Structure formats: C-alpha cells, structure tokens
Structure 1
Amino acid sequence: MIRSTEATFIEGRKNHGMASQPNILLIMADQHRGDAIGADPHCPTDSEGYPFVHTPELDNLVERGALFSRAYVPAPICVPARQSLWSGQTPATTGATNWYGHPWEFEHTLAGELTDAGYQTHLVGKTHSHPRGNHVGFERMGPTHVGASLRDDGYAEWLRDRSGGAYDKHTGGLESNTWTARPSHVPEHEHPTTWTTTKALEFLDERDEDRPFFLTVSYQRPHPPFDPPRAFWEMYADRDLPTPVVGEWVDDAFGDEIPTYPPTDAWIADLSPHEIDRARAAYYGLVTQIDFQVTRLFEAMWREFGVLDDTLVVYTSDHGEMLGDHHLWRKGFPFEGSARVPLLMQFPDGCDYPTERVIDRPVGLEDVMPTLLDVAGVDVPASVEGRSLLSLVEDPHADWRPYYHGELGPSWTPEDATQYLVDDEYKYAWNPHTGDEFLFDVAEDRREKTNLAVSSDNEDLLAAYRSKLARHLEGREEGFSDGETLRTVGLDAWDGMETP
C-alpha cells in the first residue's frame, strides 16, 4: 500500500533531509562472500596489514553510508535467497528452501511496490527468476545473463553476434560450478561483468527523466566460472594469497567424504596449494573487476547523467563462496564463507543519517525490501517479514531481532540440509536429516576453527541453542520440532524434493 500523499512522506523524513522519492540503485553480485571487501573488518590482510582485496569504490560507500558486517542470507544458495530478497519473506514462507521447483509467485515484491509508487523499475544482468520471463514486479528486465551453463541468454547471444559466431561464453572451457580457474578467453570489454555495466548505462541514457528510477545491476560474477580478464588475474596471481582456514573439526565431520580424485565441480576437495591459489586469485580478481565496473557506473551517473548525488546505493550478494575454507567449495553451507555476504549502502546528498557506520548486528537479505521501501516513502506490505535497517543506521545498539535464522533443504546431496541461528555471540547450525551440530563463538572465532558442540564442557550452552532453534521451528510442516526438542527427519519431509 502506497502512502496517500507525497506530503506524508516528506513529513516523515524531514528530520533526515531526504528528498522525495530518491533514485535507488541496487547492485547485486552472485556468490560474493562477506570478507571479500576491503572495508570489511574481517577482510584478509597482507604482510603490511592492508586489506588484501582491492575494492576502493565499494569501500568508499561507507564514507556516506554504512557497512553491515554481519549480513547473512536466509538460504545460502541462489534461488531461495533471491526469492527472499525480492519478497521480503523467509524461505519458510516462500516455500523455497532449496534451489529447485519453487514458483516465483508473490503478491508483493520490492520492484512491484516501487513500480506502483511511480518508479521506473529495470533490472539488467542475472535474474534467476522462473520462468525466465518472470519480471518479479520490474517494468522492464534485461537483457539478461543467467550464467555459464546456458547458451541462449542475452549475453550469449550478444557475444556470438559480436564475434560473428567465432566464439561464445563457453569457449574458455569453464562451467558454472567449478574450482578450476584461468584468465577469461574474451577481451575485458566483452566480459559479462563489463557487458552488464554497459547495459545499465544504456538504461540510464534512455530512461524517463521525469520519474525516479529503481535500477538493479545484477552481476553474475564472482560466481564461477573463475575467469577474470587477464589484467585482474595478474593483480593477484603472483601474490602470497590468504590460506584457507581448516577447522579442527573438519576431519571428523567430512574426512570420509573428501574424494581422492575430485571432479572440478566437487563441493569438497583437499586440493593442492597451487590449485587453491589459482582459484583464489581468480575469485578476488573477479571481485576487483566488479569494483572497477562500479567505478565506471558511478562516473557516468555523476558526470554524464547527473544522478549519483540523488541516488541511494545498496550493494549486496545472494550468498558467498567457501573458496576452500574447511576443504569446501561453492555455497550451500551455514559457515561464514557461504552464509555471510557484503551489505553496504550510500545515502543521497542532503540526507543526514549518520555515516561511516560499521554495524555488527545480524541482518539479512529479507531486510533489503523494507529498507528500500522505507527510503522511498512506500508503506511496507504486511506480508514482509524483514525489517528496515534504518533504525540500526541511526543507532547500532537499537532493539533488534534476538538472532537471525537461515536454512537450506537438501540440495547437493540428500544429507546437506541445514538450519542455523546466529546472534551477537554465537552461531548454532544443525542438520535436520543427520543430526550433525556445530556451535561457534563467532564473536571470538569468526573463522570457525573450533566447534564447541563436540565438547561436553559446552553442554549447557549447546542445550540453550537447541532450545532456541526448537522454539523457532515449532509448527513447521517438516516436523523439525515439537517446540521444545529438535527432531531429525527423513528426506520425504521436503515435499516434492528431487535430489540431484
């Protein structure tokens, strides 16, 4: 429901100097882990103590805004996470707890509410909605880039036409879920990250200047294939790269599952240091390439189109990438590399919300929709379960949810389901199929080296978190809990599951 008058919106925001209906730019990456931002407090550092990951443009967002250093995803995999972002709802409500077979049908979406409020809404780049023509409330969508596995999306067609059919996005020999890495086989100006920015600039050039815009620029990288243009590969290839963390608990938890000859799309692999370094160099190179393209976008918005100062900017991702931590790759895990993502925002000029905030409270992707609607002066639909982040920008110690909950139904294998809670001090994760448990002191052990759940010394603490999760899951149709005790379930608990 839209506020009845523009005057209502202006009155509600006059204390913060926010202009009526500012433009909104949402920049999304795919598979960008939270510590792969230079400004993040837990970004790896070099021998001199400087952030290892070079993202100066993204870092600079904090100067006029905020960084949420504990932003988690409601489900650490593409489809359910994006459904939660666009709907403001949790996976339990959308029904999307894993990556397949879930309808994209929502009464209210972020783009739909802004369209109804008079915004010109457009998305370029990766969608992942189903069917592929589903606009999820956007007025316009496309051209799209779905990923390396499809040969008929907008980027693939553009690349074939540009090369006269000489090559396409698959010529490099890499697929969508792989730890192998190499420089891109296409020139930088033809790389999908560059292409996505170009399409965003075309929208800005053609847009209706009498309406505010909501533009989503959705990059497919740093999701594999790990194929940065050579210039970005060379930024990291010869450096001493950060070593993956391997927890004390890994052998007991996964030792029997580590393959001797891992396929290139293996979700677990004890790779050689050389292979790990190549993957990490490529991944960080892709992140830095996005930062350069954000610079290109911002420069055009400032110099050519004159809209940057009137635009709220938000940067985030749908999930992270394990990148070899605990011998794990890709996503789908409750651990920090997979479940925590960047979340930064920059306010428009004239807005007097506090800036240079680094907010260390657990927040999530379902909070993006109510935050942007709050900024736009649009009432948040009752269906939305997230909360506006502006209260934490004003006061990082403000009353907030006691914990954040995330989950994933079986996706890669029948045994990889997870439920997790994270609060200001601890993270508790439980597999509702196998009963496996993890408890980490994330306030002191952010790299999750020590699993407190395996020690009898922590039984009281473990019992407290079991009870929290049991209360949270009470009433779920899968039968996870009776409200007091957690219960493991069979695979038939996930209705309609089609195990890959």
Structure 2
Amino acid sequence: MGRDTTRPTLAVLVALIAAGAATAEAERPNIVFIMSDDHAYQAISAYDGSLNQTPNLDRLAAEGVRFDRCYVTDSICSPSRACILTGKYGHRNGVTNNYTKFDGGQVTFPKLLQRAGYQTAMIGKWHLGSDPTGFDHWDILPGQGKYYRPDFRTADGQRAVDGYVTDVTTDLAVRWLTEQRATDKPFLLMMHHKAPHRPWDPAPDKLAAYRGREFPQPATFDDDYQGRASAARLAEMRIEQMRPSPDLKIWDDDDRHRRWLYKHMSDAARAKWEQEIDPRWEQWAGGNDPRVGDPPLQKRRWMWELYLQDYLACVDSVDESVGRVLATLEEQGLADNTIVVYTSDQGFYLGEHGWFDKRLMYEQSLRTPLLIRWPAASSVEAGRVEKQIVSNVDFAATFLDVAGADVPDAVQGRSFLPMLSGQTPPDWREDLYYHYREGPERDHAVARHEGVTNGRLKLIHYYETSEWELFDLEADPHEVRSVYDTPAYAERQTRMHHRLGELRKELGVPDPTPNGPVALGQ
C-alpha cells in the first residue's frame, strides 16, 4: 500500500508545532521598561508643564495611561531598584540603603520572565553592587556612572565609550533591539538612565537650552520648617547647601572636577562647556550678576536657577532618548505589541521646601512618574489618567501578569494591569506603607522614618526621635503644617495610627526601635 499523502509527515507536524509555538511566543507582548534616576514628575509636561516640555514622554501619556499616584516604598536609589526587581520591600529583599550589595541569588521578575520564555536585557544604570542576574544580555554603568565618556561593564569586562551617557545608553539599547535580540521570542528590555541624577551634567547641545529662562518659584521655596518635626529643619539638602562645584558648575580653571570632567570630553564638547559654563565663575566670584550679592535670598534663587537649567537640560536628553526608542520600535514593526513603561526610581525636589534631593516622605519625593502605553490592547483608553494608588513594589507582579506568568506568593506587590483598561482589581489597596532607613549619619542627614498615606492623609513617624507628623493633603497640599495632636484631627489620627500598625504587621516589618528612641546621629 502506498503512503497516504493526505496526512502530514512527522517532520511536517514538528514544523507546524514549532511554527505555532513561535507565533504564540510572538503574540505575547514585549516589555520596554525605561527608568531614569531622580526624575521629578514636576519635570514632565504631561504632569505639569510649567518648567519644561517633554514631547516624547507626553506621547506615552497621550497614547496610554498616566498614573498620578505612583508612590515608592523608599525614596532612594538602590532600595527602589531592589524593590522593583523583587516586588518586595527592603526588609525582605535585603537592600535598605545605597551601600548594601543586592543578593542576585534571589528570585526577580526578569528571572521569572526568562523561565516563561522571554529574552531579557538590562542596559544602563544598575546601581546594586552585584552583577545582574536573570538577563540574557547586560551592559551596565558601574556604580553611579559618568556623564561623559562613561564606562560600561558586561560579563566580559569593562570599557570606556566616547560620548554622552544618555546617548550611549540609548545607542546600546537600539543596537540590542535591531541587531542582538532573538526575533522568535518576546522580550524584556530594561533601559535605565543615569540622568538626571546629580551633578546634572547636560549634553553639549543642551547647555544653553534653559539659559535666561524664568522659572515659577515653588510656593514653599522659602519654607521655614516650623510647625513640623525636626527632620525637615535638620535635613542637609537646601539649595544653599549645594556645592558650587560640581553641582552648579561654578569653578575656576584649576578646579579639580572641571579638569576631570573636561578630560573625558571631545574637543568640540569641551569648547561648548567653556563657552556656556565657565562664565558662571566670573558671575560668582566677580559679583557681575546682581543675584550673587546681598541679600542672601537673591543668591539662593540664582543657585536654584542654575540647578534647574542643568537638571532640565538633562531631562531633555532623556526625553529625546524615549523618542528614539519609540521610533525604533515602529521601524522594527514592534510598536503595537510592545508595552512601553516610563518611570523614575523615585521623585525629587526641585526647590519645593527649599530643597533638592529626595528621601523625606513629602509628595515630591514620594511620588514618581509612571506612564504606560500598549497600542495592541484595544481596551486601553488613550490619554486616561489613573488616580488609584500604585507603587514600584507592584511593578514585578504587573510585568509577570503581562507575560501570563505566575506571581510568587512571596511578592508583596500586586498587578495593576487591569487599571490600564480602567478596571480596579478587587480589594485594591487604599493606602501605602513607606520606610526610609538609610539615616542621618549618611548623605543629607535625613532622619529615619516610616509612614502611611492614603492620598488624602499622611502620617509620618520619625521613630528615632519619637516625633510625628500628620498632613491633610486636601487642606494643606504643600505639606507645611502638621496637624498631629490637633483636636479636630484626633479621630483621623487614631485611624492612621491603627492603619500604620496593620500595615507593619501585614508586611512583616521588624520593629525599627527595639531598644526605644535614640537621638539623631546615633
């Protein structure tokens, strides 16, 4: 009897199964997770618009969802990154300050995506001490990284790359998308920028972008820190406490940081800096700008303006990077089925309360931008604004949910994927627990504290000095008047105390003061 040619051969069946599997893999959404460092939501025009314009980030908001209450669990770089990777608070993942090496042996969402069939890549700022794990490809900045001629490190070693760090990071990410990724798998690409982290060194073509610009002064710029706990008054992050060099680029020709920075630049870049930045020294030392002289508040405002000019110029480069990635996804035919997420590792003060930096649980530090676009999901209403509280502790669960992968029970965050379609998951949180542990003996002398917020009320406990703050964000959106121990708030204060205790128990937070309160600095 002859062979039945109407039935597929084994080889054909294998090919069909393989093709079907490849199709299924390809249909799962890709994830591009873009994170900057210290990018304040105030410096994204989709949120505000009074300081700068960010057209590419605004495009993510216009074509996707803007989250207005994305809160971090700890407003500092390494703990935030560890929280994002693991979906756990710092007391569970082991990173509670910027000086602890991340244990790469623990479960992370990139590892789980790998097991689910995703190709994974990490490019840019890592800042966790240990080598990345869970990635098929990684190319990272060692430590904080440099703005000019940055070093990048892979498993094979370290090399310096000519250029500006935001551009170089984007170049590497685009190269991975176009030349190095496997085309038969869905992928996770994490592109993490150094910018706009201190000392806010702009690209050569951005140095004059905000020169002469008048910025609206924050309502709390001249905060006197009265009516609150001592932490606000003692924090060393006031505008006038910035370093002339390198923070404000006020230097003479012999300045050590100037020599170091210029050494890493091309001749053309250095010429731009000499033209645009070096004259600041003459203004500072020679008193050729009236704002440098008396009274001191004029000088302080001048310092703030220089800070914003440089900070926002760095943001401009990040925004252009986002535009390049979006264009690459379109050119590669990947845009529709790729979820693009933009966030920062925390918020940042841009003169609010007279500060720069972050750490304290006030809104500008606690809130981080979050923009998510997913064109293929027809249920996502473009331009929608989400008001529910989400957190960076939720990112891991959300990314796993996107991939159809199981979320381990140990993960403390929850997936907010349904929110992209305007649906609130059942029993979604109404408040969030926060804990800053690095302490006043480290950078900026910020007191350790924990707290809880529901978006309306915020209770903060500075447990080493036994001080409390309670803010009513509706009545006092600028957080300048604590109503703790105010009779009118007695019932609400009790409720917030109770909720803080519940969350500490629910999250398994160890008692931060087993031996009772101690003085600042001990």
Fold conserved (TM > 0.5)? yes
Secondary structure of 1:321's aligned partner: coil
CA apart distance, 1:327: 2.5
1:200 and 2:200 aligned:
no
Write the letter of the residue equivalent to 1:39. A
2:430 matches 1:402: yes
The one-letter code matched in structure 2 to 1:76 is S
SS in 1 for 2:213: coil
**Which position in structure 2 is the counterpart of 1:363?**
390
Residue in structure 1 matching 2:306, options 278, 286, 296: 278
Q: Does the Cα contact within 8 Å between 2:463 and 2:512 map onto a contact in 1? A: no
Aligned partner of 1:338: which letter? S
Q: Which residue of 1 aligns with 2:196?
A: 222
1:74-116 CA distances to partner (integer Å, 9 max, x unpaired)? 1100111111100011223223222223542453211101111
Secondary structure of 2:208's counterpart equals: helix
C-alpha distance in structure 2 between counterparts of 1:444 and 1:36, whole Å: 24
Cα separation, 1, equivalents of 2:34 and 2:210: 24
Give the aligned partner of residue 139 of structure 2. Answer: 142
Residue type at the aligned position of 2:141: T
- What's the secondary structure of 2:241's corresponding residue? coil
Query: Could you tell which deviates more after superposition, 271-280 or 146-155?
Result: 146-155
2:271 equivalent in structure 1: none
Give CA deviations for 1:381-404 in whole Å, capped at 9, x if unaligned. Answer: 112111111233333555411211
How far is 1:229 from its partner? Answer: 2.1
On the 8 A contact 1:75/1:98 being kept in 2, the answer is: no
How far, CA to CA, are the matches of 2:314 and 2:202 in structure 1? 5
Q: CA deviation at 1:299?
A: 1.2
Q: Is the 8 A contact 1:122 1:141 kept in 2?
A: yes
Alpha-carbon deviation of 1:144? 2.7
Q: How many Å separate the matches in 1 of 2:180 and 2:104? A: 29
Task: Pick closer, same or farther for the CA change 1:106–1:413 going to 2, 3 Å.
Answer: same
Query: Cα deviation per residue 1:305-347 (whole Å; 9 max; x = unaligned)?
Result: 2212221111111112223321222121111221211111101
Partner of residue 84, structure 2? 85
Question: How many Å separate the matches in 1 of 2:60 and 2:242?
Answer: 39
Q: Determine if the alignment matches structure 1 residue 25 to structure 2 residue 32.
A: yes
Alignment check: 8 A CA contact 2:465 2:519 kept: no
> Aligned equivalents of 2:519 and 2:172: distance in 1?
43
Query: Is 2:491 aligned against 1:460?
Result: yes
1:68 maps to what in 2? 67
Partners of 2:451 and 2:222 lie apart in 1 by 18
Residue 143 of structure 1 deviates from its aligned partner by 4.1
Partner of 1:347: 374
Contact 2:436 2:448 in 1 (8 A): yes
Bigger mean CA deviation after superposition, 134-143 or 93-102: 93-102
Q: Does 1:470 align with 2:498?
A: no
Q: Partners of 1:371 and 1:265 in 2: how far apart?
A: 42
- Distance in 1 (CA, whole Å) between partners of 2:313 and 2:423 is 32
1:335 maps to 362
Kindly indicate whether the alpha-carbon contact (under 8 Å) linking 1:29 and 1:219 is maintained by their aligned counterparts in 2.
yes
Asked if 1:241 corresponds to 2:215, the answer is yes
Deviates more, 1:269-278 or 1:236-245: 269-278
> In structure 2, what residue type is equivalent to 1:222?
P
Q: Deviations over 1:47-85 (max 9, x none)?
A: xxxxx3211111111233211111111110011111110
1:431-446 matches, within 5 Å, as 431-446=462-477
For 1:112-145, what per-residue CA distance to the aligned partner results, in whole angstroms no more than 9, with x for missing partners?
Answer: 01111111100110011222xx223112210435
SS at match of 2:209: helix
Q: Supply the distance in 1 between the matched residues of 2:28 and 2:105 (Cα, whole angstroms).
A: 24
What is the CA distance between 1:160 and its match in structure 2?
A: 5.3
CA contact (8 A) 1:145 1:220 kept: no
User: How far apart are residue 149 of structure 1 and its match?
Assistant: 6.9
- Are the structure 2 counterparts of residues 111 and 392 from structure 1 closer, same or farther at C-alpha, using a change threshold of 3 Å? same
SS at match of 1:53: coil
Secondary structure of the 1:203 match is helix
Give how far 1:265 is off: 9.1
- CA RMSD of superposed structures (Å): 3.5
Secondary structure of the 1:221 match is coil
Q: 1:414-453 alignment to 2 at 5 Å?
A: 416-453=447-484
Supply the AA of the counterpart residue of 2:202.
P
**Which amino acid in 2 is paired with 1:224?**
R
Unpaired runs of at least 5, structure 1: 1-5, 12-17, 46-51, 163-189, 482-486, 493-498
Q: 1:276 to 1:95 in 2, by over 3 A?
A: same
The question of whether the paired residues in 1 share the 8 Å contact of 2:397 and 2:407 is answered with yes
State the 1:233 CA deviation. Answer: 3.8
- Separation in 2, partners of 1:70, 1:247: 26
CA distance in 2, matches of 1:420, 1:95: 20
Cα deviation, residue 231, structure 1: 3.6
Q: Judge which range, 79-88 or 373-382, deviates more.
A: 373-382
Mark the CA change 1:336 to 1:219 in structure 2 (over 3 Å): closer, same or farther: same
Structure 1 SS opposite 2:484: helix
The equivalent position to 2:241 in structure 1, one of 262, 267, 292, is: 262
